[in-house]
Amino acid sequence: MLRFLKISHLAVIDAVEVEFEPGFNVLTGETGAGKSILVEAVGLLLGGRASGDLVRTGEEAASIEAIFESGGEELVVRREITAQGRSRAFVNGALATAGALKDLSARLIELHGQHEHHTLLDPATHVGVLDTFGRLDGAETAIAFDAMRTAVEEVARVRRAIADRETRQELVTFQLGELDRAGLKAPAVGGASEDAELASARQVLANAERVERLCAESYASLYESDEAILASLGAVWRRVGELAALDPTFQPYLEARDAIKPQLEDLALFLRRYADGIEASPARLQQLEERLALLERLKRKHGPTLADVIAKRDALRRELADLEGGDERVAELERASAAARAAYVKAAGALGSARRRAGPDFARQLERMLAELAMERTRFEVRFNAEPLPESAWSARGMDAVEFFVSPNPGEELRPLARIVSGGELSRVMLGIKTLTATSRHGFSDAADRPPSLSAPGLVFDEVDAGIGGRVADVVGRKLRTLGSAFQVLCITHLPQIAAYADSHFQIEKKVERGRTRTTVVRLDERRRVDELARMLGGEAISDGLRASAREMLMERQAKAKGESETEGARRAPREGKKKT
């Protein structure tokens, strides 16, 4: 339920704070006073779409803050909207998304306004209303529908692939053949790629004569010339040995002799072998050039690196295998699709049977409720599709088409709900449907059987009195008060007959101060409540006679509500006594 509401800089509201009570709360005021803004503020707290146009002129931002109580737990919900249209939401001080607010609102408050009236006129919404009344869980059907749709789409995808298989297979075979003929070699672990190795070899062959000359000259300097380094080193080491005998500081260099000599001998051997291994032929160089050119072409087509080309080759091999085994894959998917379809049909069929059992009960209870709302002879019927719906009409909600039919007057045939002409009749039918679904959704078979509950959500009714008046307004007020015994009810109304039944009465008033329009919300005491009812009865000029009529109406409604409460308590007492025994 909604405990506290604070609004700042929203449209014509500069600053408003309201503390609501359990039970039946009404909000009244002149047309244009800002009652709809109050409802819109609550809608924003429920995750409604925000707009910078809602921010009061001259202000940077608007804010709405509320304290909700649910199951003994207090939740503080805040929404901020900037003049640029950006918004932020907070739940108990933590940032939250608008989607999170919508999810949270289901257990906090329900908004029933003119928009919901029009929504219920759409037959597509009727199946959801029936499911809510019957407490029918369509989760299994929705999951089965998603699984069936996924399976069907997968079959279609593979079939499309098979339809193009020959063309694709030809292309894949051609590309794979080109790569296989190239004989690509994967590099050893930690080794260079083939193109890097070939580029290095090409560099050597292109400079073969110079390489051979440098190797020969280096080898001769080490081994073959008259002044060969290795031969000269013997004399050097002998002299260093004599020096070490005279001065020990030469000893480390003498000890290094055994390491230096083998390294120079290895170098001489490598130079001779390297020079002998060079194939300094134009044919070999041409072969390397051609191989590198081939690898470059493949890298441009499938690269940019040789590793990418090798990965492409492996992927083409796998794709070709899939294409060649496509028929088996389709058969497997079709079996899975058939199983998913059967599971959906079973789940949807069970849900449809439950709906057909709930439909007559919903109709009977609504007829009883409409009788309490001065529509005693109204007939109501829930109709289902007589023939199975085509598969194209199946949905996550099942295979049922549900539509509400009503006949408000004796002798008239049942007609679709959308064709009710009278606005007053439509308002009462809507109130009845909303009352039934609200009490059913939260586990109350009869609102009068429950005291005001903090765990139940608040119900906000906007313009529920459209098109009604007189005696009908009186019974609507009685029904809203009864509903307030199980839920917190907030109702915006223009009718004194309804307002007089409220447990708490708030007046919304618009004033112009210093050239600016301001809206205020005030909880009325008994005296001011009489004045507000008198204004609703007679307009701006409030006479003593209107006050007397308003006072009489208020006392009469309060007495009537008290009497009905005592009667209901007496009716319930024997029933509760039987339960105890």
Q: 556: closest CA among 490, 496, 492? A: 496
Residue 349 CB-half CA count within 13 A: 7
Res 188: pLDDT: 66
Compute the distance between CA of residue 572 and CA of residue 579 in angstroms, rounded to an integer: 11
Helix or strand (DSSP H, E) at 4 = strand 2-10
- In whole angstroms, what separates CA 427 from the centre of its chain? 33
Chain mean position to CA 202 = 60
Structure tokens at 148: 């069936």
Residue 39: what residue type? V
Element (H, E) at 67: strand 61-70
Q: What is the pLDDT of residue 430?
A: 79
Contacts of 26 (CB under 8 A, 6+ apart): 490, 491, 492, 493, 498, 499, 501, 502, 504, 505, 506
Is 0.85 surpassed by the pTM of this model?
no
Q: pLDDT at residue 579 above 60? A: no
pLDDT digits (tens, 9 = 90+) for 104-115: 776 777 776 655
**What is the pLDDT, as a whole number, of residue 524?**
93
The reported pLDDT for the residue numbered 311 is 85
Give me the chain's average pLDDT, please: 81
Candidate from 171-180, 214-223, 423-432 with smallest mean pLDDT: 214-223
What pLDDT is recorded for position 455?
47
Please tell me the number of Cα atoms within 13 Å of 518 on its side-chain side.
12
Q: Give the mean model confidence (pLDDT) for residues 60-67.
A: 92
Query: b or e along 537-565 (b: 16 or more beta carbons within 10 Å of the residue's beta carbon)?
Result: bbeeebeeebbebbbebbeebeebbeeee
Count of CB atoms situated within 10 Å of the CB of 390: 8
Q: Which of residues 378 and 284 earns the better pLDDT score? A: 378
Q: Which residue intervals of 225-325 are DSSP H helices?
A: 229-246, 251-255, 257-277, 282-302, 306-324
**Which amino acid is residue 114, in one-letter code?**
Q
pLDDT at 121 (0 to 100): 78
Please indicate whether residue 434 or residue 526 has the higher confidence score (pLDDT). 526
What distance in Å separates the CA atoms of residue 365 and residue 378, rounded to the nearest whole number? 12
Beta bridge partners of 383: 403
Give the tens place of pLDDT for each residue, 486-523. Answer: 788 999 888 999 999 999 999 998 888 777 778 888 99
Residue appearing with tokens 């007589």: 386
Give percent above pLDDT 70 in the chain.
84
pLDDT for the residue 220: 73
DSSP SS3 for 471: helix
| Nearest one of 438, 458, 451, 433 to 369, comparing CA atoms | 433
Structure tokens belonging to residue 323:
């294409």
Q: How far apart are CA 484 and CA 467, in angstroms?
A: 22
- The CB-side HSE value for 86 (13 A sphere, CA atoms) comes to 3
Decide if 333 contacts 355 (C-beta within 8 A): no
pLDDT category at 316 given cuts 50, 70, 90 is confident
Task: Give the amino acid at 123.
Answer: P
pLDDT in tens, 143-165: 999 999 999 998 888 788 777 77
In angstroms, the CA 474 to CA 81 distance is 40
What band does 326 get if pLDDT is binned at 50, 70 and 90?
low
Q: Average pLDDT of 393-414? A: 92
Q: In terms of Cα–Cα distance, which of 6, 102, 86, 100 is closest to 54?
A: 86
> Does the pLDDT at position 448 exceed 60?
no
What was the pLDDT predicted at 347? 96
358 Cβ neighbours under 8 A, 6+ residues apart: 130, 133, 134, 136
Q: Which of these ranges, 43-52, 299-308, 434-443, has the smallest mean pLDDT?
A: 434-443
195 vs 184: CA distance, rounded Å: 10
pLDDT score at 342: 96
The arithmetic mean of pLDDT across residues 282-294, rounded, is: 73
73-77, 283-287, 401-405, range with greatest mean pLDDT: 401-405
- What pLDDT is stored for residue 71 in this prediction? 73
Give the whole-angstrom CA distance, residue 525 versus residue 20.
Answer: 14
CB 216 within 8 A of CB 223: no
**If you search the block for the tokens 């809206």, which residue do you land on?**
519
Q: Quick one: average pLDDT of 369-387?
A: 89
